Amino acid sequence: MSAATVAGVHPVTGLVARTADNVAAMRDAWLVSMDAAAAGQALVELDRLQSEITELQARVAVRAQQAGTADQSGATSMANWLAVTTRQSRTSTHRFMRLAESLDRGTFEPVRVALSEGRVNPDQALVITDAVDALPDDIEAETRARAVEVLLAEAAHHDPVALRRLGKRLLDVIAPEIGEAHEAKVIEAEEERARAHTRLTMTDDGHGITYGRFQLPTAQAQMLKKALHAIAAPKAQTAAHGSLPERRPGPERLGQAFCELIERIPAGVLPEAGGVNATAVVLMGLETFRGGHGVAHLDTGATISAGQARRLACEAGIIPAVLGGPSQVLDLGRTRRFHTKTQRIALAIRDGGCTAEGCDWPPGMCHAHHDPAWCQGGVTDIDHARLLCPKHHARAHDPAYASTCRPDGKISFHRRT
């Protein structure tokens, strides 16, 4: 036991105090006198020093956990105590404690030593411990030690992201006889998890901008990224819009590329929703279409400028419904049973969705209902058709219910007595 410990001051406590004093002495250091080489070297050495301090901090954290530091304040875990005390996020402190606990195990002693010497950084160290822990339970200790050795060697050449990729294929190096089968299981599990967590949300702010967030499986996200980069690439943009600076596409250009990608989707490749391809329908007056001023509307209810409407009318997947101009034949009488795509579009424009009172289902999710029913002699034309969602369409054919047409074109249902 050292004299410092006997005197009541632990060597680590003294080191922390001396280090704090040394750093404080540099607060007002004149950095302008540093040339490029000196500044670069200092940055590298500071990074190495941070790794060395992190290793010491990890050992102290494990000791604090063993000594019950968190218990003294009633904290539920050492990570939570550290988050509250140091005002860090719980995500970062739980990540740190996971590393600290891993480095305290004998399997990862080489990783702890490498971190203490600044040969790996904390992110690399956590990637190595996580990758080895992810190996199958039946992997022998000798093979795990070999895995640690391999990843430590690779850490000298790869950042944490690349090191994580290598970690996923670790068995191909240390145990190739089982590596491929294990990797297949890992990838399948990741893909299943990605499918379960796939999300897309969009919110209209009411001022012409829609905000969105999404979570996609990595494979599909990479496909989307590649498509957007192809559209946003300087060569493609120069061909479409004239000379542009050669630079990597940023968020603004990628956003514009996303809009262009949506507009380029051919109508014929989209699945039908309610008998009509999932395409946008632009509604505008004949004079507006010919070049007049004004606004146009999408069949979803959104309002757009006349200029954008005329431009969209030239794009694939956009159907211009010119009000007041020549129309296609909509009335087919008894010549066919099902409504045509043209009729479905006209019904969507006229009805705007399910015509049952109080129902808000959109046109694309509704059925075209004969009114009166086809089996009762109804004809397939617009004047004798209405949109109904699946639930209300079933109710319209349910003999237990009667219906009443309202003056506003809506229909109400009531159970027969």
Q: Looking at per-residue confidence, does 272 or 130 come out higher?
A: 130
* 159 part of a folded domain: yes
- Tell me the two tokens of residue 242: 């004239």
CATH number at residue 372: 1.10.30
Residues 375 and 291 placed together within one structural domain of the fold: no
53-57, 103-107, 161-165, 310-314: least confidently modelled range: 310-314
Instruction: Encode pLDDT of 366-407 as tens digits.
Output: 888 887 766 566 677 777 888 988 888 888 878 888 888 888
Residues 47 and 107 placed together within one structural domain of the fold: yes
Q: 406 in helix, strand or coil?
A: coil
* 282 part of a folded domain: yes
Residue with tokens 């704090």: 20
Residues 259 and 278 placed together within one structural domain of the fold: no
67-71, 241-245, 310-314, 343-347: least confidently modelled range: 241-245
Q: 36 pLDDT band (50/70/90 cuts)?
A: very high
Residues in the chain: 417
Q: Is the CB of residue 334 less than 8 Å from the CB of residue 379?
A: yes
* 26 part of a folded domain: no
Residues 350 and 314 placed together within one structural domain of the fold: no
Residues 76 and 191 placed together within one structural domain of the fold: yes
Residues 291 and 375 placed together within one structural domain of the fold: no
Residues 50 and 142 placed together within one structural domain of the fold: yes
Residues 278 and 260 placed together within one structural domain of the fold: no
Longest dimension (CA), the chain: 105
The total domain count for the chain is 4
* 212 part of a folded domain: no
Residues 223 and 183 placed together within one structural domain of the fold: no
Residue 322 domain boundaries: 272-326
- Tell me the two tokens of residue 125: 């160290």
Q: Looking at per-residue confidence, does 317 or 119 come out higher?
A: 119
Please list, in sequence order, all residues whose beta carbon lies within 8 angstroms of the beta carbon of residue 415, skipping any fewer than 6 positions away: 400, 401, 402
Residues 320 and 365 placed together within one structural domain of the fold: no
pLDDT at residue 149 above 50?
yes
Share above pLDDT 90 across residues of the chain, in percent, rounded to a whole number = 29
Q: 348 pLDDT band (50/70/90 cuts)?
A: confident
* 25 part of a folded domain: no
* 208 part of a folded domain: no
Residue with tokens 């500071």: 46
pLDDT at residue 42 above 60?
yes
The beta-carbon contacts of 179-182 under 8 Å, at least 24 apart in sequence, are 182/135, 182/136
Q: Is the CB of residue 93 less than 8 Å from the CB of residue 84?
A: no
Residues 110 and 52 placed together within one structural domain of the fold: yes
Please list, in sequence order, all residues whose beta carbon lies within 8 angstroms of the beta carbon of residue 92, skipping any fewer than 6 positions away: 83
DSSP sequence for 39-99 = HHHHHHHHHHHHHHHHHHHHHHHHHHHHHTTGGGGT-SSHHHHHHHHHT--HHHHHHHHHH
CA separation for the pair 29, 40 (Å, rounded): 16
* 332 part of a folded domain: no
* 145 part of a folded domain: yes
Q: 257 in helix, strand or coil?
A: helix
Helix (H) or strand (E) holding 347: helix 341-351
Residues 71 and 185 placed together within one structural domain of the fold: yes
30-34, 79-83, 103-107, 281-285: least confidently modelled range: 281-285
- Cβ atoms < 10 Å from Cβ of 345: 22
